[in-house]
Amino acid sequence: MSVWDKEFPSDSEYAHYYADYVSHVPKKNIIETLNSQMHEMYTFINAIPGDKAFSSYKEGKWTIKQVLGHMIETERVFAYRALAFARRDPNPLPSMDQDNYVKYANFNSRTISNLANEYLSVRISTIHLFQNMTQEMISLKGTASGFEFTVRSLPFIIAGHELHHMQVIREKYL
């Protein structure tokens, strides 16, 4: 039995602005959710037509490639937060300025295949990190962006963030 079989974070375990993301994540084993998302997203990314990869749905909005890069980097940041909190790092972690991260990356110069492969690598790493945590580890807390989070909440935020952006890509880009 996994420590994740009956774990679902309460609203008090993460910053309030992640509530919508978390509310859309299925209330089941989060490792299974991350794994099924990985297969679906990898297939989805690789099926994006080349002419659409540079498109944005509105002036000033990110391209699909930039959205994908943002998803990858955000997952890395949240996985690092989980690692730091699970290892009892007492230092508060900074916010992530998503616009600067995208602005100073080179996502538009990369191929869809390259982004898909990086996504896959990051997600596999994320799954390994969380699936090997103990009950005690997932109950630990830390501060990021001025808010307290439990380790337990972070994979749900990762999954919900992905669900949000997949919906945006489907509805506004494709």
Taking only the tens of pLDDT, the chain with its 174 residues reads 688 987 799 999 999 999 999 999 999 999 999 999 999 999 999 999 888 898 899 999 999 999 999 999 999 999 999 999 999 999 999 999 999 999 999 999 999 999 999 999 999 999 999 999 999 999 999 999 999 999 999 999 999 999 999 999 999 998
Counted domains in the chain:
1
Q: Facing residues of 141 across strands?
A: 150
Within a domain: residue 103?
A: yes
pTM, two decimal places = 0.96
Domain membership of residue 129 (yes or no) is: yes
- Answer yes or no: is 4 within a domain: no
- The answer to the question of residue 165 being in a domain is yes
